[in-house]
Amino acid sequence: MMQDELEKLLREAIQGITDVRPLLERPQEEGHGDYSSNIALVVAKQTKRNPREVAQEILSKLQKPSFLEKVEVADPGFLNFFLSSKYLLKEMDRVMKEKDSYGASAELKGQKIILEFTDPNPFKEFHVGHIYTNIVGESLSKLFEFQGATVKRANYYGDVGMHVAKAIWGMQKNMQKEKISLQDLSQRSLRERARFLGESYAQGSSAFEEDETAKKEIASLNAKIFAKDKEISDVYEQGKTWSLEYFETLYKRLGTAFDFYYAESQVSEQGKKLVLDGLKKGIFEESEGAVVFPGEKYGLHKRVFINSQGLPTYEAKELGLAPKKYEDFKYDKSIIITGNEVTEYFKVLKAALALLHPSLAEKTFHIGHGMVVLPSGKMSSRKGNIIRAPEFLDEVKEKVLLMLESSEHPLPAEGREEVAEAIALGAVKYSLLKVGVGKDIVFDMEKSLSLAGDSGPYLQYAYARCKSILRKAGEATYKKGQSFTDLFPEEVSLLRTLSRFPEVAREAAEKQLPSLVCSFAFTLAKQYSAFYDAHSVMGAESQEKKEFRLLLTTATAQVLKNSLSLLGIRILERM
């Protein structure tokens, strides 16, 4: 990669001057070149010399390779590197040769990574928050794959625990009230059934807090669930099956396919056993009838792993999950993606795991992403103030359909719905991914879901526009040795941006930030739009210009496609 080569050259040039590793950055201003280095400023500081002089000295020792047009010293002592147009043209040619794999690397080749994400609980609603986790997890998976890693996607769902007891309690009450059986319920659509479960959960949940009798009933239901009591097994099995089926329809819609599914019930025994073993070794302690991990010894918090009824909590189950995953896939790295509300206890969990299973602990990482909050506050399926996933996606799709219908050049009616679905998902995914992972997202249906400007549809539109031109003019191929001169600024900017893609993809994977791909793709689309407005492709000044612009258009479309693919956003030939 260009960045590495330049860094190498720079390191050679500063030998004998300093051993500081020179860092290259991408300047925001085009006038500052394609890369710049502040190494002279760093050296000047150490040696109390004049930074400009140092920069000059480094420059004089630098072997100037052919891919550089020029290197400049700028105040107060920056070294600015400008790529040659010959190099940029070659890079454009590479885009067209490598196509979908342009920008991919073998950086993580041989690495086995398992990512756990989405983690919805059966019986509870699948809401916008789950969509967010899913989209982040899927995008990170793709980023790692693009760097050559072997990635497995895992889904972990809570099929046992208090939330299930609360839901079943609510289901029983509602079925009595409405005088319906499981059989009757099964006649309803999957989405309605899921909703019935979600509402039952919300009711059970508030009853648990407000009503002492209900609280006792729910607690006893919980014990029955763990004991696999026959009395409730029908309701339980049905509800669980419906939920999981329902989730599957959403994964399909969102574009994720999981390699592994793990249920809490599947790992709870193993988790409990690990904790009890740990208790013997003195890693855990008994306290008030429960088994706790004394996190305060490690600067963390004390947490309950087995409650006083002898049931494993989420913490214990998660401990059981780690070896289970490793059994299925001998990973080098296991990444668990959840909302950042659990970041604190993941630290405790990792500390406990480090004592029980050091080798697994050092391979385990947690990424806490921000929470999706509504302008009215935090979403809570207990309180029922949530945005349900399918309803939400449908609403966005409706908005898009309206726009498509009122367009000046409406698409033919058949296939229009398909296009609307792709645009709606593009809008949703982009709006969630463009923010740095870890920050909360204030979600306002009206405001934050834009279809214009810095948005998914803007990128899809830029792509469709390129394809429209290419359909009319035919795709171009780069002829060996062909060189173009007298390029306009808009053309040069585009070339320079295109060549940055491989580095952006790598950096996004390293920093685990899909948002870097978003801003890159937006810049590219914006530059193409500006170019499109300023210059005509088909009506170019000369045949040569026309060819060049067709090449530029082909390459732009390709890089947009590759970027969007990393974000899990579908491209459209027309829209």
Partner RNA sequence: GUCUUCGUAGUUCAACGGAUAGAACGCCACCCUUCUAAGGUGGAUAUGCAGGUUCGAUUCCUGCCGAGGACACCA
Binders in 408-447 for RNA, by CB under 7 A: 408-409, 419, 423, 434-436, 438-442, 444, 447
Examine residue 303 and tell whether it contacts RNA (CB under 7 A).
Answer: yes
Beta carbon of residue 480, minimum distance to RNA (angstroms, whole number): 25
Examine residue 340 and tell whether it contacts RNA (CB under 7 A).
Answer: yes
Among 45, 99, 216, 297, binds RNA (CB under 7 A): 45
Beta carbon of residue 259, minimum distance to RNA (angstroms, whole number): 21
Examine residue 543 and tell whether it contacts RNA (CB under 7 A).
Answer: no
Beta carbon of residue 255, minimum distance to RNA (angstroms, whole number): 19
**Which contiguous run of DSSP H or E holds residue 261?**
strand 260-263
Range 241-280, binding RNA (CB under 7 A) = 264
Range 77-106, binding RNA (CB under 7 A) = 78, 80
Examine residue 548 and tell whether it contacts RNA (CB under 7 A).
Answer: no
Coil/strand/helix, residue 64:
coil
Examine residue 541 and tell whether it contacts RNA (CB under 7 A).
Answer: no
- Among 94-102, 269-277, 295-303, 326-334, the segment contacting RNA (CB under 7 A): 295-303
Range 375-404, binding RNA (CB under 7 A) = 378, 400, 403-404
Among 15, 16, 19, 28, binds RNA (CB under 7 A): 28
Which residue(s) pair with 152 in the sheet?
114
Beta carbon of residue 130, minimum distance to RNA (angstroms, whole number): 11
Among 243, 256, 265, 313, binds RNA (CB under 7 A): 313
DSSP 285: E
Among 47, 297, 534, 544, binds RNA (CB under 7 A): 534
Q: Which is closer to RNA, CB of 185 or CB of 352?
A: 352
- Is residue 88 within 8 A of residue 77, CB to CB? The reply is no
Range 157-176, binding RNA (CB under 7 A) = 158, 161-163
Angle between helix axes 212-226 and 230-254 (nearest 10 degrees) is: 80
CA–CA dist 438, 511 (Å, integer) = 12
Residue type, 396: V
Q: Which is closer to RNA, CB of 89 or CB of 290?
A: 290
Among 50, 308, 417, 510, binds RNA (CB under 7 A): 308
If one counts every other C-beta atom within 10 angstroms of the C-beta of residue 323, the result is 17
DSSP characters over 506-575: HHHHHHT-HHHHHHHHHHHHHHHHHHHHH--STT-SSHHHHHHHHHHHHHHHHHHHHHHHHHTPPP-S--
Residue type, 190: L
Among 5, 341, 362, 417, binds RNA (CB under 7 A): 341
Closest CA to 238 of 168, 155, 165: 168
HSE of 504, CA atoms in CB hemisphere, 13 A: 26
Q: Which is closer to RNA, CB of 179 or CB of 472?
A: 472
Range 188-227, binding RNA (CB under 7 A) = none
Among 1, 233, 252, 289, binds RNA (CB under 7 A): 289
Q: Which is closer to RNA, CB of 358 or CB of 436?
A: 436
Examine residue 314 and tell whether it contacts RNA (CB under 7 A).
Answer: yes
Phi then psi dihedrals of residue 418, to 5 deg? -60, -45
Among 330, 480, 539, 542, binds RNA (CB under 7 A): 539
Among 25, 100, 209, 211, binds RNA (CB under 7 A): 25
**Which contiguous run of DSSP H or E holds residue 315?**
helix 314-328
Closest CA to 572 of 387, 415, 339, 359: 415
Examine residue 292 and tell whether it contacts RNA (CB under 7 A).
Answer: yes
Q: Which is closer to RNA, CB of 122 or CB of 185?
A: 122
First CA to last CA distance, the chain: 35
Beta carbon of residue 355, minimum distance to RNA (angstroms, whole number): 18
Q: Which is closer to RNA, CB of 83 or CB of 185?
A: 83
Examine residue 59 and tell whether it contacts RNA (CB under 7 A).
Answer: no
Examine residue 302 and tell whether it contacts RNA (CB under 7 A).
Answer: yes
User: What angle (nearest 5°) sits at the alpha carbon of residue 7, between those of residues 4 and 8?
Assistant: 90
Beta carbon of residue 358, minimum distance to RNA (angstroms, whole number): 23
Range 445-504, binding RNA (CB under 7 A) = 447-448, 450-455, 457-458, 461, 464-465, 467-469, 472
Closest CA to 93 of 484, 519, 565, 459: 484
Q: Which is closer to RNA, CB of 7 or CB of 199?
A: 7
CA–CA dist 530, 310 (Å, integer) = 65
- Is residue 240 within 8 A of residue 291, CB to CB? The reply is no
CA–CA dist 202, 166 (Å, integer) = 8
Among 111, 174, 343, 565, binds RNA (CB under 7 A): 343
Residue type, 462: A
Q: Which is closer to RNA, CB of 163 or CB of 325?
A: 163
Size of the site for RNA (CB under 7 A): 99
Beta carbon of residue 285, minimum distance to RNA (angstroms, whole number): 8
> Which residue matches tokens 């309950």?
304
Beta carbon of residue 573, minimum distance to RNA (angstroms, whole number): 7
Relative to beta strand 285-287, strand 260-263 is unpaired
Output the furthest CA–CA distance in the chain (Å, rounded).
88
Q: Which is closer to RNA, CB of 72 or CB of 93?
A: 72
CA–CA dist 126, 252 (Å, integer) = 14
> Which residue matches tokens 């780069």?
478
CA–CA dist 404, 401 (Å, integer) = 5
CA–CA dist 63, 76 (Å, integer) = 22
298 to 16, 352, 425: CA distances (angstroms)? 45, 10, 44
Among 371, 374, 487, 492, binds RNA (CB under 7 A): 371
Beta carbon of residue 340, minimum distance to RNA (angstroms, whole number): 6
Phi then psi dihedrals of residue 172, to 5 deg? -60, -45
